[in-house]
Amino acid sequence: MSGWRHPDLGTEIDRSKPLTAEVDWTKIRGFQGDTLASALLASGPRTIARSFKYHRPRGLYGMGAEEPNALFDITRHGTTIPNERATLTPLTDGLKARAVNASPTAERDRARWLDLLHRTIPAGFYYKTFMAGGWHLYEPRIRAMAGLGRLDPNTNPPADTPTRSATCDLLVIGAGPAGLAAAKAAAEQGRAVWLIEDATYLGGALRWRGGEIDGDDWTDFARATDTAILNSDGRILTNTTAWGAFDHGLIAAWQRRVDHDVHWRIRPAETILATGAVERPLWPAQNDRPGVMSAEAAHHYLTLYGAVAGRQLLIATGSDASYATAAAFAAAGARVTLADARDVSPDAPDGVRVLSRQTLQAVHGKTETWGATLNDQYHSADTVLVSGGFTPSVQLHCQSGGKLDWNAEKDALVPRPGTSHMKVIGAANGTFGLGPALAEGATAAGGLAPDTPDGTNWRWHPARPDIDASGRIWIDLQNDVTLKDVKLAAREGFTSVEHLKRYTTLGMATDQGRTSNFPGLAAMADATGRSIPETGTTTFRPPVRPVPLSVIAGRRRGDLFNPLKRLPLEDAHRAQGAVFREYGGWLRPSAYGEDEAATIQAETKAARDTVAIYDASPLGKLDIIGPGAQALLDFAFYNRLSTLNPGRARYAFLLRESGIVFDDGVVLRPSDDRFVVSASSSHVDAVRLLLEDPRQGRFDPSQVAIHDVTQAWTTLTVTGPRARELLAAVGIDVDVPHMGVAENTWGDAPLRIARISFTGDQSYELSVPLPHGPALHARLDVALNAVDGRWIGLEAVMILRAEKGYIVIGKDTDGLTMPHDLGWGGPRDIRGDEYLGKQSLFTEAAMAADRRQLVGLSTTNVLPTGAHLVPLDGPCRSLGFVTSSYQSPNLGRPIALALLEGGTAMQGAEIGVFHNGDVQRARVTQACTFDPEGERL
Amino acid sequence: MQTFPCPFCGPRDETEFHFAVEADHPRPENAPSDLEWAAYLYAVDAPQGPAREIWLHIPCGEYFVMSRNTRTRDVTASEALR
Ligand SMILES: [Zn+2]
């Protein structure tokens, strides 16, 4: 127990609002403004986590997304989110946290014996060892021991994160000194600036380090920036992470709010990146002991939350930055020793013992820290703060294609200017210290450098892992990768950075290698005798830190994921007991009754015995209008349509240029220069665009227009032997020939009657403008009852059309089906003019006799749709498959349609149907099995 | 997410667009050979670098010619078909 709460310090906590949370079933206290990490630190326990592979005791190390250890499953208001970082989790009252990868608790983890086996489980151990008999034999037990948090399968966070789009003149990412200076300078020029900050408050490191800018405290400068941004129509988003840089400058940002989060898609004219840097650790033996912390993080906890990391501190550093940290801890009442790796170092702060030319060789401790060895001398300490310099946070620069250059003077990989669309400033650019950061920020936005007395550029001793050092040294704390693993990878030839990552998993954890990529790279460079730039850098991909999938998905979930189209008459159908299902993006009645299977059979029979009505409104209605209409349709369709007389209708196919059937439907010609294309209901949009292609690219678009009026009309189809009788009762003129179309009126409503049939019985498609739909529905319903007819759903229609061998595109055809495979070879053999797909119908493959062709199948049972057809003798291979299969109440037996290799020539033959390992027999028939002469039409 | 300029609607998200075909590849007519026809259908240049392509803006239904660099993703021109 070492951490404690200072009685006075803490600029960002509200001591009048105490909070209580529960960590591994132990109560901890904190204040409004705390993070879970700061509350844990102030509460004292050191071992708060277990490591990923060896189950080593681990403590808090960092302060943000770089935290490798303090991962918890967090439960708030009954919802559990796994693997949250304590450093990024605001403390809330009643929050429950459970350490990941530990059971029952991090302190008393049952799997801690695994660490004793560390010599036998180096990198690659699992790959090399668990091969005999197959990995799957071992996987369940290994997975149960490894891994991170627990996902509650019942977790279903609400889809309450809206996505909002925005543009601005300048986007500044990061509100530390450099970002503030850039944003202020740009806003003062009148540019609309958006400033995004990960933390709750502006200031970056100024928040804990403090500083004087333009003669006043830095907070005045931050307030002036705030005012300048708001005055120039800009915006400040705090608690917001810019998590991804995408094509054409798009920045995705996740804003965390109390009520609901917001996902921003920002398209700035210009972007400035000021995302700061992450402190590097040091690499003594046992550097993973609880009580070893980033010096910068400890400084941050001290100032912002009054959470003091320990009472007896050893600060091991080679960096100017640590002197202010040492001073702050001494002032807070801790005993502080600062061990600098350098020979010459700045003056010792008050109350700090400074030792120079010190190398931190080992940390001593187990579940807590007892001391450390410096230059072979033991020093007692309850906390070891480390600083090995800083690594610029360049993720967004690299995500947008930016390159890095090694800069030996800055001891860092820094952005190469001009390789991404962003300007990178401040610590992210390797520019450290308040004065230089302010100057670089202001200059990037065309302003003048603010004045500050703190003009020093931080310097540090370039610290690296010593590949000859003894003891266990961790490079990647989160994925438990040691220096030994890196050396093993080098020996085994995995020397490129990408191979190193994949072999050892270095840098592949959810901290994305923030503290481990650099030392891993440096160690590999050393082990292979290369320089850091020769060894290379890894690729950065979004997101820069874990983002909940619910944020990215936004509201596109559940009913809003892929909204269905609804029938205007839906309520009327529901009132009649309709069951609704999705058909091609539309919600339509499948049957009118609860017992669906029986109802479907009864509806199918009624449609043949008396009369039935179904809602065919989704059927496509593309108006093709103008003097150029017939030329366009002749080219676009496989069947010639210019020869269609006004008042008539024709069944026709649309092909792709590949000759494959794309859609079928009836084309009506109500008058000389107007056609109506009844595209399949699920294909209307695609057919419209397919027709637009030649309209715009081949013909004079001023001569023909295409209007999709599908959803402006209600279409009810009356079908059956008593259809005429019913319509006569309603007062609708039925004097329309088969394949004829007439435009009349019904009362004061325009009425289009098309006598075309998808059922094989006399059918009348009645179309009225939407407002007249309910009246037509109500009138037909009365008449329907009088002749003992029924409303029927789509399932009955499917059986009726299958009895007739009528196809559904995409169900009875596939990506190879050409019109002659369906018995429609006529136009190909007759037409001499050009049309879509023509050339493809004459290739060798298109002319082959063994193409899959549409047939019917006769059996004693209902065949499974999709079952393959196989030869009854000889080697088993697929000759095709069942496309549609139903029990026909009108024929009193099962019916099926199939695509069968050479099927046209196989009428009457027997074929095998393969399903679940069994082969049964079926007889090949014509596709049409009901009223083949068409006498009922 | 790229931004493409529709000549009729202005800059819009790439999800509103469909690639149609590479520009300057006229449809062979008057009984081309199978080879010529197959080349028209399937032999795309897919250049890395400058490209001229026909795209469709789905909401307005207009096809247009877009010149862009497939490597840098810069869009250099966008013009109506006629
Ligand atoms: Zn458009």
- Per-domain residue ranges of chain A: 4-115, 163-278+392-444, 281-389, 474-535, 622-800, 806-925
Contact B1 A693 (CB under 8 A): no
Q: What is the pLDDT of residue A143?
A: 67
Contact B81 A658 (CB under 8 A): no
Distance between A249 CA and the closest CA of chain B, angstroms: 8
Q: Is A697 on the interface with B (CB under 8 A)?
A: yes
- Residue A293: strand pairing partners: A385
Distance CA(A516)–CA(A486), nearest Å, equals 11
Is omega for the bond preceding A543 within 30 degrees of 0, making it cis?
yes
Q: What is the pLDDT of residue A127?
A: 65
Best interface-test mutation with A: which of B34, B72, B74 has the largest number of A CBs within 10 A? B34
Selecting from 3.30.70.100, 3.30.160.100, 3.50.50.60, 3.30.420.40, what CATH number does the domain A281-389 have? Answer: 3.50.50.60
Distance between B61 CA and the closest CA of chain A, angstroms: 6
Q: What is the pLDDT of residue A500?
A: 92
A13-38 per-position pLDDT tens digit: 999 999 999 999 999 999 999 999 99
Pairing mode, strands A586-592 and A565-566? parallel
pLDDT surpasses 80 at B76: yes
Q: What is the pLDDT of residue A559?
A: 86
The percent helix, strand, coil of chain B (3-state, each to 5) is 15, 45, 40
Q: What is the pLDDT of residue A44?
A: 87
Contact B81 A696 (CB under 8 A): yes
Residue in chain A lying closest to B36 (CA) = A839
Q: What is the pLDDT of residue A789?
A: 95
Residue type, A29: R
Q: Which residues of A touch B63 (CB under 8 A)?
A: 692-693, 696-697
- Assess contact for A623 and A706: CB atoms under 8 A: yes
Q: What is the pLDDT of residue A1?
A: 54
Q: Do domains A281-389 and A806-925 have the same CATH topology?
A: no
Q: What is the pLDDT of residue A407?
A: 94
CATH architecture for the domain at A474-535: Orthogonal Bundle (1.10)
Q: Which residues of A touch B29 (CB under 8 A)?
A: 834
* A796: three-class secondary structure by DSSP: helix
Domain ranges (residues) in chain B: 3-26+36-80
Give the angle subtended at the CA of A278 by the CAs of A272 and A284, to the nearest 5°.
160
Q: What is the pLDDT of residue A537?
A: 82
Selecting from 3.40.50.11890, 2.60.40.10, 3.30.1360.120, 3.80.10.10, what CATH number does the domain A622-800 have? Answer: 3.30.1360.120
A609-655 per-position pLDDT tens digit: 999 999 999 999 999 999 999 999 999 999 999 999 999 999 999 99
Q: What is the pLDDT of residue A879?
A: 97
Distance CA(A917)–CA(A354), nearest Å, equals 80
Distance CA(A269)–CA(A860), nearest Å, equals 70
- Residue A308: strand pairing partners: A4
Q: What is the pLDDT of residue A211?
A: 95
Distance CA(A126)–CA(A131), nearest Å, equals 8
**How far from A184 is each of A179, A255, A277, A442, A618, CA to CA, in Å?**
8, 22, 21, 8, 56
In this prediction, residue A147 has a pLDDT band, given cuts at 50, 70 and 90, of low
Give the angle subtended at the CA of A644 by the CAs of A643 and A649, to the nearest 5°.
155
The percent helix, strand, coil of chain A (3-state, each to 5) is 25, 30, 45
**Mean confidence (pLDDT) of chain A:** 94
Interface of B with A (CB under 8 A): 1-3, 14, 18, 20, 27-29, 31-32, 34, 37-38, 41, 54, 56, 58, 61-63, 73, 81-82
Contact B1 A840 (CB under 8 A): no
* A909: three-class secondary structure by DSSP: coil
A186-228 per-position pLDDT tens digit: 999 999 999 999 999 999 999 999 999 999 999 999 999 999 9
Distance between B3 CA and the closest CA of chain A, angstroms: 7
The predicted complex's ipTM stands at 0.97
Output the furthest CA–CA distance in chain B (Å, rounded): 42
Distance between B58 CA and the closest CA of chain A, angstroms: 8
Q: Which residues of B touch A554 (CB under 8 A)?
A: none
pLDDT surpasses 80 at A558: yes
Best interface-test mutation with B: which of A164, A247, A248, A836 has the largest number of B CBs within 10 A? A248
Q: Give the CATH superfamily of B3-26+36-80.
A: Folate-binding superfamily (3.30.2270.10)
A495-528 per-position pLDDT tens digit: 998 899 999 999 989 899 999 999 999 999 999 9
Q: Which of A470-493 are b and which e, b meaning 16 or more Cβ less than 10 Å from the residue's Cβ?
A: ebbbbbbbbbbbbbbbbbbbbeee
Neighbours of B36 (CB within 10 A): 13
Q: Is A375 on the interface with B (CB under 8 A)?
A: no
Residue type, A605: K
Q: Give the CATH superfamily of A163-278+392-444.
A: FAD/NAD(P)-binding domain (3.50.50.60)
CATH architecture for the domain at A806-925: Beta Barrel (2.40)
Selecting from 3.10.290.20, 3.30.70.1450, 3.10.20.440, 3.40.309.10, what CATH number does the domain A4-115 have? Answer: 3.10.20.440
pLDDT surpasses 90 at A109: no
Residues of A (652-681) whose Cβ lies below 8 Å from B? 657-658
Distance CA(A281)–CA(A277), nearest Å, equals 13
Percent of residues, chain A, with pLDDT higher than 90: 87
Q: Which residues of A touch B1 (CB under 8 A)?
A: 246-248, 250, 265
A and B: number of Cβ contacts within 8 A: 48
Q: Which residues of B touch A706 (CB under 8 A)?
A: 61
> Residue range A422-446: average pLDDT?
97
Best interface-test mutation with A: which of B37, B44, B75 has the largest number of A CBs within 10 A? B37
Structure tokens at A525: 């460079």
B15-59 per-position pLDDT tens digit: 999 999 999 999 998 889 999 999 999 999 999 999 999 999 999
Distance CA(A613)–CA(A800), nearest Å, equals 13
Among A657, A696, A840, select the one facing B63 at the smallest CB separation.
A696
